[in-house]
């Protein structure tokens, strides 16, 4: 069991790193930051020389691979961290310093128990990509196929385990001391989900299985494909898959030179995401520009399946109705779904929530994407979150993040695309096909049966005592974390030490929990 002193030492080091890169200003200036955290931000940066322009990417990279993954998530949220910070953090999705090839060779040979030459006829020692978790090399198999080989960075699993253990410890203390707002954002649950995502990403057999499952889901979807896995050259630390010859989807000049219709690519990308998320309930959750290519046939090819999202059928039905309601202006139904899914507590007014949704959605309807965005919509929804006590929904965090990613790429391909008009026919068709004939008359049925559906006093009392699970899956058990004042048997209460913990936890988590919240 890691001692509190060890967690504090790690957090102190991270706080000082953030300060040296000027990255504490965001926490210090956030109006939602607790006063003790704001005060101790000043303590953390005491004696440091801060650059005039904060270097968020440099700070997260210096802290380590777990922080880099958090930074990659924040890079997709300019509506929360600002355009400057989001642009700076995009460097975390680009090339990082590679691991020496001798270490890569040793990793491959030790995990397969055989020489590199028995697996590959040739192996390029210079990586084609290096990220926080792994790096990728091109190679040719002994049977003559060109492949891409992904290898975990040596020691990365152990480093993640140590860092996430401290994240869990810090989140528990932050939640205990942070008050109602922090409790609403559920930092412990956010870190628990973050841990599950990264554990999957650190097992390349699971990534390979994810790629295989997504390929099955999308087999009938024209214009989008997944490279095949070479299972004989894949294990927990190494993954081998077919080589992709194509143009990065972010290289618009090359796409134009090749004669591809960028507007068509943008529409196909949006529909591919909707097919995965709403139709299949299983989606590629790391759809940034470096992970999407266009091959010579014009097919969009996705790579890197370490982060995948999954939502159950009931939540997909609610999601489809929410998206369709927003596109058609049926804010009352969108509000009702939020209450049915228990995203909004039952003591609030459905009508008031519908009005708040209208204030967000109405200014955006019918406008080109140059004048609106999913990010802007989410920003508006965040603004009403606190008023209606909406808790963070961890099972939807990846979906939210991916929606913003897909929109960013689609608008780069086609600045005139209207995301709502693109999504509406798909969502309408899915709702009709999946919910059956009753979906077409559901609004009429709902109106005609209001009296029968509302026996409010009795039903509300029963629901309050035995609440339904709603739209969120049952929360996974959280790790037991012994709080420091419990360890001290609460002799003196949190006091100054508690404030210190709040700051340390806040340094690593306050921005993260705000950025990772679903509509909150």
> According to the 3-state scheme, what is the secondary structure of 320-349?
HHHHHHHHHCCHHHHHHHHHHCCCCCCCCC
Containing 239, the helix (H) or strand (E) segment is strand 238-242
Containing 315, the helix (H) or strand (E) segment is helix 313-328
- Percent of the chain having pLDDT more than 90? 28
Of 350, 359, 281, whose CA–CA distance to 319 is shortest?
Answer: 281
| Burial (CB count <10 Å: 0-12, 13-18, 19+), residue 351 | exposed
pLDDT band at 74 (very low <50, low <70, confident <90, very high): low
- pLDDT at position 463 is 47
In degrees, rounded to 5, the angle at the alpha carbon of residue 337 between the alpha carbons of residues 332 and 338 is 100
Instruction: Find out whether 36 and 502 touch, Cβ atoms under 8 Å.
Output: yes
DSSP 468: -
pLDDT in tens, 328-346: 788 888 888 888 877 788 8
Instruction: Find out whether 57 and 72 touch, Cβ atoms under 8 Å.
Output: no
Give CA–CA dist 168/175, Å, rounded.
Answer: 11
Of 73, 102, 105, 101, whose CA–CA distance to 89 is shortest?
Answer: 73
pLDDT in tens, 423-475: 778 777 776 776 555 444 444 444 444 444 445 544 444 444 444 444 455 55
Give CA–CA dist 3/7, Å, rounded.
Answer: 7
Q: Which two tokens stand for residue 116?
A: 């590199």
- pLDDT at position 451 is 41
Instruction: Find out whether 181 and 386 touch, Cβ atoms under 8 Å.
Output: yes
Q: Count CB neighbours of 328 within 10 A.
A: 16
Q: What is the mean pLDDT of residues 472-492?
A: 64
pLDDT band at 508 (very low <50, low <70, confident <90, very high): very low
DSSP 221: S
Non-local CB neighbours of 63 within 8 Å, separated by 6+ positions:
14, 17, 18
| Sign (positive or negative) of CA dihedral 36, 39, 41, 46 | negative
Containing 120, the helix (H) or strand (E) segment is strand 120-123
Instruction: Find out whether 274 and 287 touch, Cβ atoms under 8 Å.
Output: no
Q: What is the mean pLDDT of residues 21-33?
A: 78
pLDDT in tens, 269-279: 999 998 998 88
Of 187, 247, 198, 182, whose CA–CA distance to 72 is shortest?
Answer: 198
- pLDDT at position 370 is 55
pLDDT in tens, 194-237: 788 788 889 999 999 999 999 998 988 889 999 999 999 999 99
Q: Which two tokens stand for residue 492?
A: 């003196």
**Hunting for tokens 């294990």 — which residue is that?**
235
Q: What is the mean pLDDT of residues 388-412?
A: 74
- Judged against a pLDDT cut of 80, whether residue 96 lies above it is answered with no
- Judged against a pLDDT cut of 80, whether residue 322 lies above it is answered with no
CA distances from 375 to 383, 406, 414, 455, 519 (A): 13, 11, 17, 39, 11
pLDDT band at 366 (very low <50, low <70, confident <90, very high): low
Non-local CB neighbours of 510 within 8 Å, separated by 6+ positions:
27, 30, 32, 33, 37, 174
Give CA–CA dist 297/295, Å, rounded.
Answer: 5
- pLDDT at position 333 is 86
* 286 classed as catalytic: yes
Give CA–CA dist 131/90, Å, rounded.
Answer: 12
Number of H helices, E strands in the chain: 25, 11
Instruction: Find out whether 7 and 40 touch, Cβ atoms under 8 Å.
Output: no
Half-sphere exposure of 365 (CA within 13 A, CB side): 16
pLDDT in tens, 111-141: 999 999 999 999 999 999 888 889 999 999 9
- pLDDT at position 454 is 45
Give CA–CA dist 487/516, Å, rounded.
Answer: 30
- pLDDT at position 266 is 93
Q: What is the mean pLDDT of residues 41-63?
A: 84
Q: Count CB neighbours of 197 within 10 A.
A: 19
Q: Which two tokens stand for residue 93?
A: 């999705």
Task: Kindly name the residue from 163, 286, 304, 414 that is annotated as catalytic.
Answer: 286
* Burial 487-516, CB ≥16 within 10 A → b, else e: eeeeeeebeebbbbbbbbbbbbbbbbbbbb
């Amino acid at each position: 069991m890691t001692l509190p002193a060890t967690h504090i030492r790690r957090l102190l080091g991270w706080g000082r790193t953030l300060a040296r890169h000027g990255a504490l200003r965001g926490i210090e200036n956030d109006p939602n930051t607790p006063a003790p955290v704001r005060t101790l931000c000043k303590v953390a940066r005491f004696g440091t020389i801060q650059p005039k322009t904060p270097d968020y990417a440099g700070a997260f990279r210096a802290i380590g691979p777990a922080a880099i993954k958090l930074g990659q998530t924040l890079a997709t949220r300019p509506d929360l961290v600002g355009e400057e910070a989001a642009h700076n953090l995009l460097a975390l999705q680009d090339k990082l310093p590679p691991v020496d090839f001798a270490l890569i060779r040793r990793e491959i040979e030790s995990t397969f128990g055989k020489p590199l030459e028995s697996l590959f006829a040739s192996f390029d020692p210079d990586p084609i990509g290096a990220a926080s978790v792994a790096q990728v090399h091109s190679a040719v198999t002994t049977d003559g196929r060109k492949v891409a080989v992904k290898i975990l960075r040596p020691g990365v699993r152990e480093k993640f385990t140590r860092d996430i253990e401290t994240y869990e410890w810090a989140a528990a203390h932050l939640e205990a001391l942070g008050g109602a707002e922090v409790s609403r954002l559920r930092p412990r649950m956010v870190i628990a989900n973050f841990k599950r995502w990264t554990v999957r990403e650190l097992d390349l057999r699971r990534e390979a299985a994810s790629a295989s499952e997504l390929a099955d889901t999308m087999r009938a979807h024209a214009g989008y494909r997944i490279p095949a896995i070479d299972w004989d050259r894949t294990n927990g630390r190494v993954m081998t898959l077919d080589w992709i010859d194509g143009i990065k989807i972010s290289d618009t000049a090359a796409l134009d030179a090749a004669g591809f219709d960028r507007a068509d690519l943008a529409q196909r990308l949006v529909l591919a995401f909707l097919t995965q998320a709403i139709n299949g309930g299983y989606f590629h959750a790391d759809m940034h520009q470096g992970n999407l290519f266009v091959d010579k046939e014009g097919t969009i090819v996705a790579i890197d399946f370490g982060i995948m999202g999954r939502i159950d059928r009931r939540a997909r039905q609610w999601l489809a109705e929410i998206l369709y309601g927003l596109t058609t202006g049926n804010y009352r139904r969108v509000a009702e779904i939020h209450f049915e899914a228990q995203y909004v507590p039952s003591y609030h007014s459905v009508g008031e929530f519908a009005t708040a949704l209208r204030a967000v959605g109405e200014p955006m309807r019918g406008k080109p994407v140059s004048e609106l965005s999913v990010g802007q919509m989410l920003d508006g929804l965040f603004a009403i979150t606190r008023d209606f006590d909406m808790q963070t929904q961890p099972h939807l965090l990846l979906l939210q993040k991916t929606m913003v990613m897909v929109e960013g790429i689609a608008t780069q391909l086609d600045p005139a695309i209207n995301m709502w008009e693109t999504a509406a026919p798909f969502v309408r068709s899915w709702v009709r096909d999946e919910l059956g004939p009753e979906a077409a008359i559901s609004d009429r049925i709902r109106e005609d049966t209001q009296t029968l559906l509302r026996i409010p006093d009795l039903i509300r009392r029963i629901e309050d005592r035995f609440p339904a699970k709603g739209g969120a899956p049952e929360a996974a058990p959280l790790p037991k974390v012994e709080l420091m004042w419990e360890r001290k048997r609460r002799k003196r209460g949190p006091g100054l030490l508690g404030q210190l913990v709040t700051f340390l936890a806040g340094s690593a988590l306050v921005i993260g929990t705000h950025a990772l919240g679903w509509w909150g």
